[in-house]
Amino acid sequence: MSGTETTNDTSSSAVTQYGFYKYPPAGVGVNRGEALAPSKKEFEGQRDQQPWKEEERWWLCSFAVYERLRRAGVATDEETTYFRNQWRHRLTAADPGGILRRLLWGYLSQQSVKVGEAAEGEVPAAVRDAIERDIGRTLPSHCLFAAADGIGRQSLRRVLLRLSAQDPEVGYCQGMAFPVATLLLHCPEEECYGVMRRLWWGRRWRLRDLFSPHFPLLTALLSILQQQIAQLLPRLHRHLAEEEMELSAIVAPWFLTLFTHQLPTALLARVWDFFILQGWRVLLQVAVYLLRKEEPVLVTLSMEEAVLHMRSDTTYQRVVDTETFIRAVLRVPIDDKVVEGLFPC
């Protein structure tokens, strides 16, 4: 996705008050013909029979239209950009919440990758032991994962074992349990596994590279963040250099857990809305925003003090309003081209 995205021009009579096309939905960009759209009777019948609120109806209509274009093989890059812009603006405007979030994460993650089923091998005993050790310390205060024999931990264990079996080169790495646990908070086990596999292999996320030996994706993310700090937070950048402080010691846990271990649950879900849609850009924006917010304190601290400060729960509990936080994060100026450089091929 490019740094500057465009949308098709439309007259006010052609779109709803929410900015999406009215019936017939096939007329996006160019005339696609009647074959791609349901009949008006069918369209209105489905609308009247389903007791959806307007928000759910908007998303379902949007996905249905795009899916028809995509499956027919006629969705152009321009139209894909248009739809992704629509989805981003909609997510910015309101928290989807609940069942709708489960639908959005499942659908949006499948837009970037097709993952075929792979044969599951045996999981080595050492990998099983590593998984077992981490399960008990993954979101232990959340009711879903609090009980040692509870359904949450059982699902977490099964998903991690399946992931490890299907990618023996990576196996298991500490931190993998956190994104799986986040998905389990919003969807059942099988859906969690499906979405996690797409995040694992999909070019927009490539979680596999985050946990592979030598952590290639983490290294690239830290390099980008270092550049952004030099441009956007020069005072903090100077302090880090003068004190010979390693940025990775402060922020590496953010990326390795995808902020699951740091942010409150409701705020984490909103951040993940954009992570599923856009990839790593939003997590870099969150990192810059948090460092900017804590900059007045960080520039007075030593390396050890800074690490302890950014690992303190109170640092993240000072968020007053989730939507205010999200809007501020999305205003952090990180060029999409910088993020696209994470995966050059």
Per-residue pLDDT tens over the stretch 231-251: 999 999 999 999 889 999 999
Same domain, 166 and 279: no
Q: Note whether 324 and 225 are same-domain residues.
A: yes
Q: Give the Cβ contact number of residue 74 at 10 Å.
A: 15
Q: Are residues 138 and 72 in the same domain?
A: no
Burial of 304 (0-12, 13-18, 19+ CB in 10 A): exposed
Among the listed ranges 60-69, 138-147, 160-169, 308-317, which one has the minimum average pLDDT value? 308-317
What's the average model confidence in pLDDT over 297-307? 92
Measured distance CA(104)–CA(326) in Å, rounded: 18
Beta-carbon count within 10 A of 11 CB: 6
Least confident of 11-25, 69-83, 259-273: 11-25
What are the tens digits of pLDDT across the range 157-197?
999 999 999 899 999 999 999 999 999 999 999 999 999 99
Question: 6 in a domain, yes or no?
Answer: no
Q: What pLDDT was estimated at residue 120?
A: 56
Predicted confidence band of residue 113 (pLDDT cuts 50, 70, 90): low
Amino acid at 224: I
* Residue 221 and residue 196 share a domain: no
Distance CA 303, CA 86 (A): 43
For residue 13, pLDDT over 70 is answered with: no
Position 104 in a domain: no
What gap in Å lies between CA 262 and CA 268, rounded to an integer?
9
Domain of 146?
125-201
Domain boundary, last residue among 167, 201, 235:
201
What domain count does the chain have? 3
Pick the more confident residue, 64 or 345.
Answer: 64
Q: Is 136 helix (H, G, I), strand (E, B) or coil?
A: coil
The alpha helices in the chain, defined as continuous H runs, are 40-49, 54-71, 77-93, 98-109, 125-135, 143-146, 151-166, 177-184, 189-201, 207-211, 216-232, 234-242, 247-256, 265-278, 281-298, 303-311, 313-317, 322-330, 336-340
Asked if 202 and 277 count as a contact pair (C-beta separation under 8 A), the reply is: no
CATH number (domain holding residue 263): 1.10.472.80
Is a pLDDT exceeding 80 seen at residue 67? yes
| The domain boundary residue, chosen from 201, 230, 250 | 201
Q: Are residues 188 and 221 in the same domain?
A: no
Spatial neighbors of 159 by CB under 8 A, at least 6 apart, are 180, 184, 189, 192, 193, 196
